[in-house]
């Protein structure tokens, strides 16, 4: 029987405070949505023109020239004001247009403002123009699923994170059939232009669509989106054209706030190492920015690990005329040693806690994993082509996949010419845990990328770290440093002489600093042996409780908490930097369209400088493409930018490593960036990476 509501409930629900408290929109959100981002100077004019910037040049890939002949010779274009345009130009600029826009790939904060900027510019140029949003990513183009954007809809998402207005997807328009369907959609909607907001792969797609739709007169413009920050464009002369994709700053700030909170917790509770994996499929830009924002104790940078040289190995073969190639690049074993070194040193300084940041894509930079990824890509790609089927459908469970690999290894034994997967590969692969095998064999995304976000990278790394710490414990190396005053007090309370026992218990009793128990003492048994040998304990006497307490305190327990920061930061509302950046990208897109450009990516030059120096530009996409291995074959794609180890941002992090590790008694050097704020300055101005990379480190 339905129960009748308690008396007065209706009145309670209508109370203004209840209405305010339960509304979907709170005052902060309202303020955010009403914010009108400033416009770059050039947009003060009703018309803009494009000035080809001949000073920029690119090294064009021959395959890109062959496949993209209509757009390969595009130039960098700088937007300029057109204060008194001639009437025909003005008429064309303001003509009625239909423009379609699509989000492609993972969400990135600021995407809605690209739409808002474009929508405002389109409507200001001609109120009768229409903007369509394709639903669910590129599938919306292929299947003609679109919604016409109204002012109400656009207003409801201004300055808000996510891509929820029209949603997104990862479909790649990579077949003749999908291209034909996309052209048909554009024709049916009478589109003048299509805007693809996406990462490296989606901008690659945009270039191919621009080429395919050239004859139809449909312009295609790309927009550099990805939290990974790996769309950073320079010309062949090293001049920066796009310093950062949008969404990076907001995601990095969101991750940094969470990591910084863990630094606070960790240094309060002093019992956990927090292992934080942060997104970024391959490049470690996000981890680098998090390091700069938080000063976490350990931050791995994949690109740096790949650059590792084991000097001891080179030393061993010095003079023999041989080169030990295994000395170059990081192995999983080395990696665990690097992390353990930091953990052990902090423990010696009395800090058996800390925060380590691990980039999601770190394994891509580890020698043996990279080899596995490439080999498995080739095997899966070849299987699909040869059998015209799908490897993952044919071998749905791990055991079936492993059995297929075993068959390949047998084939390699029978036929030396077959080398893609040999017995050694199979043995090595069988040595890694099943969850990681599964991860490495997992289906690639539609663009052929290895899906690092699906792999428990932190678990792999942590497993190795735990194993090695166990060894270091057995060797007596991993010890917690003890306060001298605490040691004295503990022994004196028990009526024992601290100076008598000190030299037997500790390796540094006569020096300064925290006390470190001798390496030989790794158990109660060995403690007893040392005391007996020194004549401080009779053979059959019980261990004094105070000495046991000292030993136990010096024996660190490695307790961890594992975190993954990715999807949360991707869904954050944008920082003020990203709000302004993306709104101006939207305005830039319209200027490119109104000036007839196609195959260009909208960008803002000088992002690293103050807003009044930002310059909207168009960057040609085709000349940025190169051949890359995807699904086992070479594919033409936009080049990803990884962390440049010569750039100031990395050099600063490298130089501060020791300080931020803080393997000395005393406070840590954590930095608190705070949450993303919509008001206020500094943190929200721009990524620290950009600020540092804009510095010219050469002496005057
Ligand atoms: P984009 O390159 O499409 O912007 O996506 C980046 C990213 O967020 C990576 O950081 C992450 O590895 C991946 O997407 C996760 O993909 P999915 O959303 O398919 O889980």
Report residue 452 as tokens.
């690092």
The finding on whether 105 has its CB within 6 A of some atom of ligand 1 is: yes
- In this structure, what token pair is assigned to residue 398? 């791990």
Look at ligand 1, atom 15, and give the residue with the nearest C-alpha. Answer: 453
- Closest Cα to atom 18 of ligand 1: 106
The answer to whether 580 touches 611, Cβ cutoff 8 Å, is yes
Question: What's the pLDDT at 518?
Answer: 98
Q: What is the overall mean pLDDT for the chain? A: 94
Q: Could you say which of 228, 230, 235, 578 is catalytic? A: 228
Tell me the pLDDT band of 1, cut-offs 50, 70 and 90. low
Residue 450 scores a pLDDT above 90? no
- Whether residue 19 has pLDDT greater than 70: yes
Please tell me which residue, 553 or 327, carries the higher pLDDT value. 553
The pLDDT assigned to 194 comes to: 98
Tell me which of 662 and 443 has the higher pLDDT. 662
CA of 251 to the centre of ligand 1 (A): 12
Which SS3 state, helix, strand or coil, does residue 647 take?
A: coil
List pLDDT tens digits, range 154-175: 999 999 999 999 999 999 998 9
| 682 pLDDT tier (thresholds 50, 70, 90) | confident
Q: Average pLDDT for residues 332-352, to the nearest whole number?
A: 95
Distance 242 CA to ligand 1 centre (A): 20
* Strand ordering across the sheet containing 298-299: 298-299, 354-359, 273-278, 560-565
Within this chain, domains 26-247+574-638 and 248-317+328-473+560-568+647-693 share the same CATH topology: yes
| Mean pLDDT (whole number) for 183-192 | 97
Q: Count CA atoms closer than 13 A to 99's CA, side-chain side.
A: 36
Q: What average pLDDT does this structure show over 346-375?
A: 92
- Does residue 205's CB lie within 6 angstroms of at least one atom of ligand 1? no
The residue whose two tokens read 């423009």 is: 99
Question: What pLDDT, on a 0 to 100 scale, did the predictor assign at position 364?
Answer: 87
Rounded (5°) CA angle 178-183-221:
100
- 3-state SS class at 70: coil
Alpha-helical (H) ranges within 349-483 are 367-387, 391-394, 398-414, 423-430, 434-441, 457-474
pLDDT of residue 167: 98
> Which pLDDT value is given to residue 428?
86
Cα 246 to ligand 1 centre (Å): 14
| Mean pLDDT computed over 538-544 | 94
pLDDT value, residue 698: 63
Is the pLDDT at 213 greater than 80, yes or no? yes
- 117 close to 587: Cβ distance less than 8 angstroms: yes
Q: How distant, in Å, are the alpha carbons of 67, 306, 371, 463, 640 from that of 364?
A: 29, 9, 9, 18, 14
The crossing angle, in degrees rounded to 10, of helices 248-269 and 285-294 is 50
What are the structural domain ranges in the chain?
A: 26-247+574-638, 248-317+328-473+560-568+647-693, 479-555
pLDDT, mean of residues 373-396: 90
Distance CA 223, CA 200 (A): 10
For ligand 1, what atom is nearest to the CA of residue 453?
Answer: 12
- Catalytic residue check, 228: yes
> What's phi and psi for 575, nearest 5 deg?
-70, 170
pLDDT for the residue 597: 98
Amino acid 100: pLDDT: 98
Instruction: Report CA(105)–ligand 1 centroid distance (Å).
Output: 7
pLDDT for res 430: 87
Q: Looking at per-residue confidence, does 455 or 355 come out higher?
A: 355
Give the per-residue pLDDT at 69: 97
For the residues 666-681, what does the mean pLDDT come to?
90
Whether domain 26-247+574-638 has CATH 3.40.50.720: the reply is no
| Percent of the chain with pLDDT strictly greater than 90 | 80
Mean pLDDT of 266-272: 97
CATH code assigned to 248-317+328-473+560-568+647-693: 3.40.50.460
224 lines ligand 1 (CB under 6 A): no
138 close to ligand 1 (CB < 6 Angstrom): no
Q: Give the SS3 label for residue 104.
A: strand
Which pLDDT tens digit goes with each residue over 452-481? Answer: 778 888 888 999 999 999 999 999 999 999
- Which of 392-396, 595-599, 635-639, 694-698 is modeled with the greatest confidence? 595-599
Per 3-state DSSP, the chain is made up of helix, strand and coil in percentages (nearest 5) of 45, 15, 40
Give the per-residue pLDDT at 348.
98
Ligand 1 and 279: CB distance under 6 A: yes
Cβ–Cβ under 8 Å, residues 119 and 131: yes
Instruction: For residue 108, report the distance from its CA to the centre of ligand 1, in Å.
Output: 9
* Res. 275: pLDDT tops 60: yes
Least confident of 34-38, 213-217, 625-629: 625-629
Q: What is the pLDDT of residues 214-245, one digit of tens each?
A: 999 999 999 999 999 999 999 999 999 999 99
Write the residue with the smallest CA distance to atom 12 of ligand 1: 281
For residue 700, pLDDT over 60 is answered with: no
Q: Which residue has the tokens 């990462």?
A: 199
Separation CA 612–CA 599 (nearest Å): 27
Q: What confidence tens digit (pLDDT) does each residue in 83-142 have?
A: 999 999 999 999 999 999 999 999 999 999 999 999 999 999 999 999 999 999 999 999
Higher pLDDT: 556 or 444? It is 556
Query: Residue 602: what pLDDT?
Result: 98
């Amino acid at each position: 029987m339905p129960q009748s509501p308690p008396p007065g409930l209706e009145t309670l629900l209508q109370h203004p405070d209840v209405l305010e408290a339960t509304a979907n929109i709170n005052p902060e959100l309202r303020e955010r949505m009403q914010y009108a981002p400033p416009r770059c100077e050039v947009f003060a004019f009703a018309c803009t023109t494009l000035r080809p910037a001949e000073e920029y040049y690119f090294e064009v890939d021959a395959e890109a020239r062959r496949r993209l002949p209509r757009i390969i010779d595009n130039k960098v274009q700088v937007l300029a004001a057109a204060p008194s345009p001639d009437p025909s130009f003005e008429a064309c600029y303001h003509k009625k247009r239909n423009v379609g826009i699509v989000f492609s790939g993972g969400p990135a904060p600021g995407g809605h403002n690209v739409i808002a900027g474009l929508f405002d510019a389109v409507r200001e140029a001609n109120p009768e123009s229409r903007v369509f949003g394709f639903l669910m990513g590129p599938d919306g183009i292929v299947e003609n699923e679109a919604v016409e954007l109204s002012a109400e809809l656009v207003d409801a998402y201004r300055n808000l994170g996510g891509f929820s207005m029209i949603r997104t997807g990862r479909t790649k328009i990579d077949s003749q059939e999908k291209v034909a369907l996309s052209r048909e959609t554009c024709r049916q909607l009478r589109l003048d232009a299509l805007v693809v907001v996406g990462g490296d792969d989606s901008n690659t797609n945009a270039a191919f669509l621009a080429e395919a739709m050239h004859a139809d007169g449909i312009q295609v413009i790309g927009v550099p989106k990805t939290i990974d920050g790996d769309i950073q464009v320079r010309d062949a002369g090293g001049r920066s054209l796009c310093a950062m994709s949008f969404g990076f700053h907001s995601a990095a700030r969101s991750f940094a706030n969470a990591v910084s909170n863990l630094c606070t917790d960790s240094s309060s509770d002093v019992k956990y190492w927090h292992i934080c994996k942060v997104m970024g499929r391959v490049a470690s830009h996000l981890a680098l920015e998090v390091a700069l924002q938080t000063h976490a104790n350990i931050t791995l940078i994949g690109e740096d690990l790949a650059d590792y040289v084991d000097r001891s190995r080179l030393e061993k073969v010095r003079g023999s005329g041989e080169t030990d190639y295994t000395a170059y690049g990081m192995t999983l074993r080395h990696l665990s040693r690097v992390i353990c070194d930091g953990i052990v040193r902090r423990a010696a300084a009395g800090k058996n806690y800390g925060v380590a940041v691990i980039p999601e894509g770190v394994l891509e930079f580890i020698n043996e994993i990279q080899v596995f990824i490439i080999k498995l890509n080739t095997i899966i790609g070849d299987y699909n082509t040869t059998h015209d089927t799908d490897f993952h459908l044919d071998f749905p469970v791990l055991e079936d996949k492993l059995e297929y690999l075993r068959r390949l290894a047998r084939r390699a034994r029978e036929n030396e010419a077959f080398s893609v997967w040999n017995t050694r590969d199979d043995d090595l692969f069988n040595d890694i845990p099943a969850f990681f095998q599964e991860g490495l064999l997992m289906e690639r995304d539609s663009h052929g990328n290895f899906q690092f976000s699906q792999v428990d990278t932190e678990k792999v790394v942590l497993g190795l770290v735990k194993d090695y710490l166990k060894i270091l414990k057995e060797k007596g190396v991993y010890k917690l440093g003890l306060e001298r005053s605490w040691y004295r007090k503990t022994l004196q309370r028990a009526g024992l002489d601290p100076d008598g026992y000190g030299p037997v218990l500790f390796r540094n009793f006569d020096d300064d600093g925290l006390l470190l128990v001798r390496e030989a003492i790794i158990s109660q048994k060995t403690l007893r042996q040392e005391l007996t040998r020194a004549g401080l304990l009779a053979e059959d006497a019980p261990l004094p409780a105070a000495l046991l307490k000292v030993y136990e305190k010096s024996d660190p327990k490695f307790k961890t908490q594992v975190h993954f920061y990715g999807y949360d930061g991707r869904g954050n509302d944008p920082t003020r930097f990203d709000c302004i950046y993306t709104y101006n990208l939207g305005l830039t897109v319209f200027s490119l369209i109104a000036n007839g450009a196609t195959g260009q990516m909208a960008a803002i030059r000088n992002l690293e400088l103050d807003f009044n120096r930002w310059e909207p530009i168009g960057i040609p996409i085709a000349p940025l493409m190169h051949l890359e291995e995807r699904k086992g074959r070479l594919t033409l794609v936009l080049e990803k930018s990884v962390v440049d180890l010569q750039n100031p941002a990395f050099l600063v992090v490298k130089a501060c490593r020791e300080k931020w590790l803080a393997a000395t008694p005393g406070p840590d050097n954590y930095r608190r960036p705070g949450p993303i704020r919509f008001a206020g300055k500094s943190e929200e101005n721009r990524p620290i990476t950009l600020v540092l990379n804009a510095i010219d480190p050469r002496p005057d």
